[in-house]
Structure 1
Amino acid sequence: MANANPEPEKETGASSDMLEHVRSKEDVEIRDVDARLQELARAAPPFYKNRNLLTLYLLMIPGCLVPAVTLGFDGAMMNGLQAVETWIDYFGNPSGSILGLMTAILSVGAICGTPFISPLGDRFGRRWGIWFGSAVMAVGGIIQGSSVHMAMFLVSRFFIGFGLVFANTYAPILIGELAHPKDRQVVTSLYQTSWYVGAIAAAWVTFGTFDMPNEWAWRIPSLLQALPAFITMVGVFFLPESPRWLIANGRAADAKKILVERHANGCAGDPLVELEYAEMKSVIEADMATETPWKALIATPGNRRRLLLMIMLGCFSQWSGNGLVSYYLVQVLETVGISSRKNQSIINGSLMIWNWFCATGSAFLTAKIRRRTQFLISTAGMLAIFAAQTLCAGLFNESNNHAAGNTVIAMLFLFYTFYNLAFNALLYSYPVEVLPYPIRAKGFSVLMFCGKAANFVNALVNPIGLDAIGWKYYFVYVGWLAVETVCVYLYFVETKGPSLEAIAALFDK
């Protein structure tokens, strides 16, 4: 008698074929819906004609942008403090590995915080993730400004780093998940430009206090680092929660209410909102039907590619040579004969202003230029400029060519023009696009871990390298930038255009 049941192998094969067919059909449907959604988004009025949407974007300034302000403040402050005589005397003229530890300890705190990012924000919401991180940073800033010895200063910076990763993860995620589809690319990219707002403030605050004859020359900037965190702790609750988080946590009606109020100015039945909500709900509920443990990051070819991109983006954002200037500008300037404390402070402040203009312009360019193009121009440009900077530094040190030494200063400004084009504008907006909702927080945790780990190595090694071999240390970054350029060309994926849900289908097809 013939077996009434099909053979297991055939059943598995048939199920696999049917599953692939269903996925293929779903991908086609998502692309069709997304094409219509993008068409409606382009036809939507600009944000300044939608009162509720304009209000939302303005509320993002105190509620979301401040974490990046804190990080930028820290980099410029540590640069500035190295030119403050009372800080140098109080902590015993820190240099080499000690100076590196004072800077790198912030990254240690950040690394220790990364395992807790996803559980907090996925369970309690994006806003609570931002609030918790800001609260820890505020405590760290107060301890930093009150430090009476080296150990206390180090502990304070550990706290700042620990809190920073929570706020710096969920702020760009919340921006990307709240923004109108028409504005998402630019609005999310503008987040990281606020790094330079903090850097400008710190650079000029330390310039204003650097010649004070007492400890307040460094305590004032240190205490002010807590101010942005206090602003965020209040401002974040004037923002609505992420509609995507609400859908994923069984509050779809609340999510739709937010979309109607903010994206359609309260107009119920708006075609764009109806389509936007339907796409979010169908994709997120399907993705959340199964658990997403950490191993989900390597479970599929699409997720493995996303994981590789997060690792590369985290490392490249810190190892492109920017770490030399972000925390050790004083030592870089000394390699080309700029030893005046006042001139070092002026250059630090001027560079931060230039960076803010470049970063803001780069953020708006994201609406015009493809992602891979931005990354390729950025890495190739940094490689060319850093090679020229190394040559000029060599001419100054080996041949006493003062013109070449002055050219290095100009090269610093040009270098950051290319750095900001991608690694400021796209550092957080690109991951929001690359990572689908179920693994978005986990993917950001990987990005933060790799970025802070790379920054830790930077902060610890750079002063030692500069002390040991001076300008020749630049050759390390010339070689690494060549590696970055090749990796961007081979592995980075284009994400410009589609909705966040449609981009997920692009990776997983």
Structure 2
Amino acid sequence: MYKIGNIYFIAAVAVIGGALFGFDISSMSAIISTQPYLCQFNQLGHNEKGLCLGPTNDVQGGITAAMPGGSWLGALCSGFVSDTFGRKRSIQIGSVIWIIGSVIVCASVNIPMLVVGRIINGFSVGICSAQVPVYISEIALPSKRGRLVGFQQWAITWGILIMFFICYGCSFMKGTAAFRVPWGLQAIPAALLFLGLVFLPESPRWLCKKDRWDEAKDVLTLVHGKGNPNSPWVHREMQEIREMVEFERANADVSYFELFKPNMINRTSIGVFTQIWSQLTGMNVMMYYITYVFTMAGLADGSENAVLLPSGIQFVINVVMTIPALLWMDRWGRRPTLLVGAFFMCLWLCVNAGLFAVYSRPARPGEFTSPAESMAITGAPAKAVIASTYLFVASFAPTWGPVSWTYPPELYPLRLRGKAVALCTSANWAFNFALAYFVPPAFANITWKTYVIFATFCAAMFIHVFFMFPETANKPLEEVEEIFDDTKPGAIKYIGTPAWKTRNTRNLTLKQEHNDTLSSEEKIGLEEHAHKETTGR
């Protein structure tokens, strides 16, 4: 069958799996404050104005959290699915599961049916979100890996934006069609993902792991060699993969338990915390419950649809501000990007906490439809809350958003990559689940202090990244192993090269990829330079 070898096309199709997560975020964010939704799943009766009050805070948190709960389970299972059936096939399996879940969600007539459908959707997102970065990482050139894996985050932002404005348009429909139409339309991208993957090659590293060496070489020739099987880059990459596969087979059995052995626990903790911290920034909470925040800031203006359009502006910012990371993330490196993002997100969260603490008042009885909308702020402070919220999104989008998906697949050896990234992604969804459930009661009970909690997390992640997260940008996946080698002089036992001594090797990698006529002396020089760049010595 005809296979497409353009790496940008491969990434563009694969990251539709990320867009599925974006569809869910914005479909809940845009719908939970509308009357058709509140009336269909009403538990609290009606207010003085005759408007439906919808589910209780705890139940709404549970409905929202059902998707990340299913994603946690899907991410854990994805390692076995991916190692057994292949990276590409596992994403296709996820797309079929998403279609099933979307049908159930669209047809939901009560809360239990809605929760079940969202759990199934979540299981799909768990598989895709874990294995799309693995697939792209294993097929991309080192100098393009960050940009291409970052497309996953960009696809998420596009999914959020597109579905939000679909929901905005549908909010003017009468009856349950206002939420059933957008929930039903979610199935279309999953069908496109399944069909598009048919024409894409499998991961060459997974093929080598299964002793399908000729197929792996064909993939590398197609994607990296521009059709030339004798390309020195293809030959060198095949040799590196072969050496790694043979070494791993001779030295270790593959299981989740190996991730917790002394020589692996450091990188396991780094990968897991990359995903945990990305949730504890509070970004996805902002996405799910942004209508609550803007309603408290006075944007509702007496209309259930009025708050949707200004809320959608942050989704536009999210899409636009992800672009710089796609263009320059490999040049910036992983460490500086994460550090800058943590600093600025902490700043804007502190600003919001201070504004609500000083200038807000408690919500009056019947003023808002949800108990989570517990404060009211007006005038210039309200405008400042909106502005700092937008700036928070602009700080997350080019930093922790794309890097949190790019970084974990770069940390692990081939034999463990599928399971390791599945474990990391499951941590993402576990905390996504907890926070989605936590935020409505948090706003209702501790009000502005909710922002203080997330600001504290951002400060903690800055310190953690500085001392423990090594630089992996532009290094071949097999070369990253050297960073964690604790037998080298100056290395720390079970840690390897100290994180703050690692460097970005962009210029070296570009020379290796684009200069196929290096002399033996030049190759030796490049190898020595690579060692210095990798270790910082």
Deviation at 1:131, TM superposition (A): 1.0
Cα displacement (A) at 1:204: 0.2
Please state how far the C-alpha of 1:396 moved relative to its aligned partner: 3.1
Letter matched to residue 79 of structure 1: S
Aligned partners of 1:253 and 1:390: how far apart in 2? Answer: 58
Give a deviation string over 1:250-269, Cα, whole Å, max 9, x none.
01111111111221111121
SS state of the match for residue 227, structure 2? coil
Per-residue deviation at 1:400? 5.6
Q: Percent identity?
A: 25
| Whole-Å separation in 1 of the counterparts to 2:306 and 2:183 | 21
Matching residue of 1:240: 201
Residue equivalent to 1:458: 435
User: How far is 1:54 from its partner?
Assistant: 6.6
Residues 464-475 of structure 1 aligned to structure 2 (within 5 Å):
464-475=441-452
Instruction: Tell me the equivalent position of 2:531.
Output: none
Partner of 1:433: 410
Is 1:274 the counterpart of 2:235? The answer is yes
Q: For 1:477 and 1:188, locate their aligned partners in 2 and report how far apart those are by CA, in whole Å.
A: 26
CA distance in 2, matches of 1:259, 1:315: 34
Give CA deviations for 1:429-465 in whole Å, capped at 9, x if unaligned. Answer: 1112112211111111211221111011101110001
> Which of the two has greater helix per residue?
1
Q: Which digits, 9 at most, give the CA deviation of each residue in 1:194-242, with x for residues without a partner?
A: 0011101111011101121121100011111222211111111211000
Residue in structure 2 matching 1:329, options 282, 290, 295: 290
Amino acid at match of 1:298: F
The match for 2:253 is: 291
Is the counterpart of residue 391 in structure 1 residue 354 in structure 2? yes
Distance 1:323 1:261, change over 3 A: closer
C-alpha separation between the residues in 2 aligned to 1:413 and 1:202? 19
In structure 1, how many angstroms separate the alpha carbons of the residues matched to 2:333 and 2:10?
29
**Which residue matches 2:12?**
61
Task: Identify which of 234, 251, 259 aligns with 2:220.
Answer: 259
Q: 1:53 to 1:132 in 2, by over 3 A?
A: closer
SS at match of 1:368: helix
1:451-509 deviation digits (Å, cap 9, x = unpaired): 11101110111000112232232221122222122111121111122111101222134
Q: Structure 1 residue 88 and structure 2 residue 66: aligned?
A: no
Question: 5 Å matches for 1:438-453?
Answer: 438-453=415-430
Residue type at the aligned position of 2:332: I
Question: Which residue number corresponds to residue 367 of structure 1?
Answer: 330
- Are the aligned partners of 1:83 and 1:345 in contact in 2 as well (CA < 8 Å)? no
1: distance between equivalents of 2:464 and 2:185? 39
Q: Residue 356 of structure 1 aligns with which residue?
A: 319
Q: For the structure 1 residues 400 and 309, does the alpha-carbon distance in structure 2 shift closer, same or farther, using more than 3 Å as the test?
A: closer
Instruction: Structure 1: state its 5+ residue gaps.
Output: 1-51
Structure 2 letter corresponding to 1:383: C
Q: Does 1:345 align with 2:308?
A: yes
Once residues 226 and 445 of structure 1 are traced to their aligned partners in structure 2, the CA distance between those partners, rounded to angstroms, is 24
Rounded Cα–Cα distance in structure 1 between residues aligned with 2:38 and 2:307: 15
- Quick one: distance in 2 between partners of 1:439 and 1:400? 50
TM superposition shift of 1:53: 7.8
Q: Quote the RMSD (CA, aligned, Å).
A: 1.7
- Aligned partners of 2:246 and 2:200: how far apart in 1? 24
Aligned-partner residue type, residue 394 of structure 1: A
Tell me by how many angstroms 1:413 deviates: 1.3
Kept in 2, the 8 Å contact 1:395–1:405? The answer is no
Residue number in structure 2 paired with 1:20: none
Q: Tell me the residue number matched to 1:77.
A: 27
Match of residue 218, structure 1, among 175, 179, 182: 179
- Quick check: 1:83–1:344 contact (8 Å CA) kept in 2? no
Alpha-carbon separation, structure 2, partners of 1:199 and 1:400: 27
> 1:408: which partner in 2?
385
Among candidates 140, 143, 148, match of residue 187 of structure 1: 148
Matched residue SS, 1:500: coil
What residue is the counterpart of 1:310 in the other structure?
A: 271
Q: What amino acid maps onto 2:419 in structure 1?
A: K
Amino acid at match of 2:33: A
Are the equivalent residues in 2 in contact too, given 1:395–1:404 (CA < 8 A)?
Answer: no
Q: Deviations over 1:276-312 (max 9, x none)?
A: 11111111221133312212112233x1111111221
CA deviations 1:305-358 (Å, max 9, x no partner) are: 111112211211111121331111111122322224333211222211110111
Partner Cα separation in structure 1 for residue 378 and residue 61 of structure 2:
30
SS in 2 for 1:318: helix
Q: TM-score w.r.t. structure 1 length?
A: 0.86
The whole-number CA distance in structure 2 between the counterparts of 1:101 and 1:400 is 28
What residue ranges of structure 2 are gaps of 5+ in the alignment? 43-53, 362-375, 487-537
Query: What secondary structure sits across from 2:447 in the alignment?
Result: helix
SS for the counterpart of 1:238 is coil
Decide whether aligned partners of structure 1 residues 292 and 508 sit closer, same or farther in structure 2, where only a CA change above 3 A counts: farther
Say whether the 8 Å CA contact 1:376–1:489 is kept in structure 2. Answer: yes
Give me the whole-angstrom Cα distance separating, in 1, the residues matched to 2:148 and 2:111: 40
| Structure 1 counterpart of 2:409, one-letter code | V
| Structure 1 Cα separation of the partners of residues 260 and 83 of structure 2 | 19
TM-aligned CA deviation for residue 101 of structure 1: 0.5
Match of 1:503 among 439, 461, 480: 480
3-state SS of 1:424 partner: helix
Alpha carbons 2:72, 2:429 under 8 Å: kept: yes
- Matching residue's letter, 2:182: P
